[in-house]
């Protein structure tokens, strides 16, 4: 390989990495985010994350136990649970698309998602 070929190859790699991280960051900071609450693999509620400074409280009862979820400033966390290990209670608040809080003993999951498509979102065309 010549020196010019190496420069072109390095430039393509750097540009690819920059675009990869910028696109990932944009998708994680998507608008219209919500918390998808799932019990035993089935979505039972969508909680919008826009809502200001006021703390909102939600209680979910499964056949295996109870979880109390709080939402404030676009962040979601489990405040209380009557599971034996309390791992879900000790997890940090989540706010980015794709982050989850899981309570295995209760088959309970909270996942941050975004609405499928907004007016400025990228679209993919397949041929």
- The position carrying tokens 């019990």 is 39
pLDDT digits (tens, 9 = 90+) for 47-78: 998 877 889 999 999 999 999 999 999 999 99
- The position carrying tokens 């010549």 is 2
Angle at the Cα of 44 from the Cα atoms of 115 and 70, rounded to 5 degrees: 80
| Closest to 116 (Cα-Cα) out of 45, 35, 30, 26 | 30
- pTM metric for this prediction: 0.68
Torsion of CA 74, 87, 38, 98, to 10 degrees: 50
């Amino acid at each position: 390989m010549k020196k010019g070929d190496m420069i072109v190859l390095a430039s393509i790699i750097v540009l690819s990495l920059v675009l990869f991280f910028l696109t990932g960051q944009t998708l994680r900071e998507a608008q219209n985010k919500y918390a998808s609450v799932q019990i035993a693999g089935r979505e039972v509620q969508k909680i919008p994350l826009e809502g200001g400074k006021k703390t909102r409280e939600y209680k979910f009862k499964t056949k295996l136990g109870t979880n109390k979820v709080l939402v404030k400033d676009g962040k979601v966390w489990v405040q209380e649970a009557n599971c034996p290990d309390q791992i879900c209670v000790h997890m940090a608040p989540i706010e980015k698309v794709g982050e989850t809080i899981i309570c295995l003993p209760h088959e309970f999951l909270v996942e941050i998602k975004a609405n499928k498509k907004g007016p400025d979102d990228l679209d993919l065309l397949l041929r």
